[in-house]
Homo-oligomer: A and B are copies of this chain.
Amino acid sequence: MEIDHGALITDAAEAAGIDINVPCGGQGRCGRCAVVVENGNARRRSTMRLSAADLEAGYALACQTVVEGDLEVFVPPQEEITRHLTTEKTAAKVSVPFDYDWRAHQTVLKYFVEVEPPSISDNTDDLARLERELAKCCDIRGLYAPLPMLRTLAQMLRRADWRVTAVIDRGGECPRLIDVLPGDQTTNLFGAAVDIGTTTVTVYLVDLLSGEVIETAADYNGQLKRGEDVISRIVYASKGNGLVELQTLVAETINKLIQRTTMRRKIDPKQIYKMAIVGNSTMIHILLGLPPEQIRLTPYITTVNHPPQALAQELNLNIHPLAPIDCLPGVASFMGADITAGVLSSGTHASDTVTLFLDIGTNGEMVMGTREWLVSCACSAGPAFEGAGVYAGMRATTGAIEEVWINAKTYEPTIRVIGGGKPRGLCGSGLISLIAEMFITGVTDKAGSVNLSLPTQRVRQGEHGAEYVIAWANETETGKDIVITKPDIDNLLRAKAAIYAGYVMLAQSVGMTMNDVEQMLIGGSFGQYLNIEKAIEMGLLPDLPWDRFKFLGNTAARGAYMALLRRDAREEIAEIAKKMTYIELAADNAFTEQFMAALFLPHTDMTQFPSVEKVLEGQEAQ
C-alpha cells in the first residue's frame, strides 16, 4: 500500500488495517508499539524505551517513526488484553436501596391512550389528536414531537387502530415524545445506567417500573488500545481523526454491553428509553465528541461540566434513537461526574460527621465534607495501582498476585494469586501488600531502597537497580522471575504520596487535620480488594481506627443508577456539583511540600502514623 512521505508507521498501519496498540496514546512513553523495520527508509524521532540492542535488531517505536521511503515492517504479536473481568463476575445483585415509585419519581413514562379516529367533521391532524388524548388522560400539555417521531406517526396510529402507547420524556422544559408503540405496552419500561471508567465500562440494565437492576455487564473500555490513562487518551484524541475514533470505540463498548444485557432478558435494545452516564470529564467529553485537549493544558478547562441532554442517535448508542442520554454533571477537568455521583451514592453530602470520600482509579479523587460543605481535589496518582508503570504490574485478573506476606526472618514471601494458579504479575492490592511487607520486614528502608546486604538471594542487583524477587522463574506462568525494582517502588511511592498529600491539603483547606476525619468512604472497584492494614503501613490510607473505613464498591455506577431512577436524585447531583469547592493542586507549592513529605514509608512525619510506629517497634523488639 501507499502512504505519504512523512507519515508515522502507526498511521500507515492504521491505513493498512493493521492494529498496533499504543497504550500511552502515541507519546513514545510506553514502548509497547515497538515494531521491526526490516528494510527501507525510516527515521526514529525518539528511541526512548529502546535499548542499544533493540535498535541494532531494527526495533523502532511505531508511534515515533516516520516513513521516509519504501519500507518493510514486521509487527510482532502484541500483548492481548485479557477479556475476563473480575468486576462483572463479582458484581453484586443490586436491589432498590431506596423508596421508588415510578409514577412519582421517573421522568420517562409510558401512557396508553385510545385516540379518536378522524372523520370529515373532526379532521384535525394526527399529532393534535394524540395531544388531545394525552392532555385529557394524563395532563400532558405543550408536547414536543421531534421530526423522526412525526415521520412514523400517521402510519403507527392507523396500524395500531388508534390504540397506542406513547413514551414521553418529562425531564425537560417541555414533555417530549420519544416513541409511539402499537397497543398497550405500559407493562414494561427499561433504562440503563452506565459508568464509563478509563479502564472499565459497566452497564446496569434497569427496570424503570420496579426500579430494579435486572442485568449487569462490564468490560474493558474499547479505548484501552489507544492509551491506558486519561492523558494518553487526550493526546490520541488531539491527533487527526483520534477523537472520532475514540468516541466510536467507547460507543461500541457500551453497545456491546447493552446487547449482552438485553439478550439475556430477550429485550430489544430499542426498548431502552433512557440512559444516565457517569465518567470522568475526559471520558464524558470523548463520548460527547467534545475535544478534550484543554483538560490537560493549564489552567485545565473543560468545555462543559454540565453537559446538555443528548439523544442516543447523536452518540451512536444503539438504544432507542430518541432516548435521552443524561451525562451527569462534574465539577472540573479532574473532578468528573463519577465523583459527584459517588458523593451522592455514598451519602457524603448528607453526612452529619466529617467524611472523607476517596475514589482511587487511574486518578485519585477525594471529597471531604458534611451536609454543610464539600471540598474536593484530584491527585494525578497515575495508574501505578492499576498495575501500569510497574515492571511486573498487571490488572486484577487471573494470575495476578493480590496479597503478599514476607517472613521477617527468612525474607521468603508467601503469595495469594487470583484464580489460584501460577502467578503472572502483581495487581494493585498485591503491590500495596508487597511494599508494606518489604518496609515492615526491613527489605526496604523508609525511602524504599532495597537492602542488598540481607542474607537472602531474594534481594539482588538487577538490570534496573536493586530488586526483590517475589517468585522464581520456575514458579511462574511466564517462566520469568517476578521482581519489584527500585524504579517500580519509586513509582508506587509517588502515587501514594500524591494521594496522601491530597488528604492533608483538603483537611488544611478547612482548618482540620486527618484526625478530624470521622468516617472514610472508599469507592471504586479497587477499594474492594484493599487491605486496610497494609494500605496504612505504606502510607496510602491515613492512620485512623479501622472501623472508620467503609468500602462501597462502584459508587459512580450506583450514583448513575440513582439519577436514572429518581428525578430528585438527579437534581441532588446537580446541587452537589454546584456546592462542591474544587481545589486545584497542580500549581500549589503547599501541595508539593506535602507530596515530598509523603514520599517515604509511611511518611516523614511518623506522628501521623502512630500505629505503624508501634508495628515497627514490635518488629525491632523481636
A-side residues, CB < 8 A to B, are 118-121, 123-128, 144-147, 150-151, 153-155, 158, 173-174, 288-291, 293-294, 298-308, 310, 314, 332-333, 582, 584, 586-587
Closest partner residue, chain B, to A582 (CB atom)? B123
CB-defined contacts of A147 to chain B, threshold 8 Å: 288-290, 308, 310, 314
Please tell me which one of the listed residues B127, B144, B308 contacts residue A150 in the complex, with CB atoms under 8 A apart.
B308
Q: Once the chains are docked, how many angstroms separate the CA of A145 from the CA of B305? A: 12
Residues A586 and B120 in contact, CB atoms below 8 Å apart: yes
Residues B304 and A125 in contact, CB atoms below 8 Å apart: yes
Using known A-B contacts A120-B586, A332-B123, A584-B120, determine if residue A301 contacts B154 with beta carbons closer than 8 Å: yes
A171 → chain B closest CB, angstroms? 14
A127 → chain B closest CB, angstroms? 4
Residues B120 and A151 in contact, CB atoms below 8 Å apart: no
Residues B123 and A304 in contact, CB atoms below 8 Å apart: no
Please tell me which one of the listed residues B119, B153, B301 contacts residue A123 in the complex, with CB atoms under 8 A apart.
B301
CB-defined contacts of A302 to chain B, threshold 8 Å: 125-126
Please tell me which one of the listed residues B288, B291, B305 contacts residue A124 in the complex, with CB atoms under 8 A apart.
B305
Using known A-B contacts A289-B151, A332-B123, A584-B123, determine if residue A118 contacts B308 with beta carbons closer than 8 Å: no
**Other contacts beyond A123-B299, A173-B174: 12, CB < 8 A:** A120-B300, A120-B584, A121-B584, A123-B301, A124-B301, A125-B305, A126-B294, A127-B303, A128-B304, A151-B288, A151-B290, A153-B304
Closest partner residue, chain B, to A293 (CB atom)? B154
A375 → chain B closest CB, angstroms? 15
Residues B291 and A145 in contact, CB atoms below 8 Å apart: no
Q: Once the chains are docked, how many angstroms separate the CA of A609 from the CA of B427? A: 100
Q: Once the chains are docked, how many angstroms separate the CA of A174 from the CA of B308? A: 12
Q: Once the chains are docked, how many angstroms separate the CA of A354 from the CA of B282? A: 66
CB-defined contacts of A293 to chain B, threshold 8 Å: 154
Please tell me which one of the listed residues B126, B150, B174, B304 contacts residue A126 in the complex, with CB atoms under 8 A apart.
B304
Q: Once the chains are docked, how many angstroms separate the CA of A88 from the CA of B286? A: 49
CB-defined contacts of A291 to chain B, threshold 8 Å: 151, 154-155
Residues B303 and A126 in contact, CB atoms below 8 Å apart: yes
A376 → chain B closest CB, angstroms? 13
A611 → chain B closest CB, angstroms? 36
Q: Once the chains are docked, how many angstroms separate the CA of A489 from the CA of B158? A: 41
Q: Once the chains are docked, how many angstroms separate the CA of A125 from the CA of B333? A: 8
CB-defined contacts of A127 to chain B, threshold 8 Å: 303-304, 306
CB-defined contacts of A119 to chain B, threshold 8 Å: 299
Closest partner residue, chain B, to A243 (CB atom)? B151
CB-defined contacts of A288 to chain B, threshold 8 Å: 147, 150-151
Residues B128 and A305 in contact, CB atoms below 8 Å apart: yes
Q: Once the chains are docked, how many angstroms separate the CA of A127 from the CA of B310? A: 16
Q: List 23 A-B contacts (CB under 8 A).
A: A118-B299, A120-B300, A121-B584, A123-B299, A123-B300, A123-B301, A125-B301, A125-B332, A126-B294, A126-B304, A127-B303, A127-B304, A127-B306, A128-B304, A144-B308, A147-B290, A150-B290, A150-B304, A150-B307, A151-B288, A153-B304, A154-B290, A173-B174
CB-defined contacts of A305 to chain B, threshold 8 Å: 124-125, 128
CB-defined contacts of A307 to chain B, threshold 8 Å: 150
Using known A-B contacts A123-B584, A174-B173, determine if residue A301 contacts B118 with beta carbons closer than 8 Å: yes
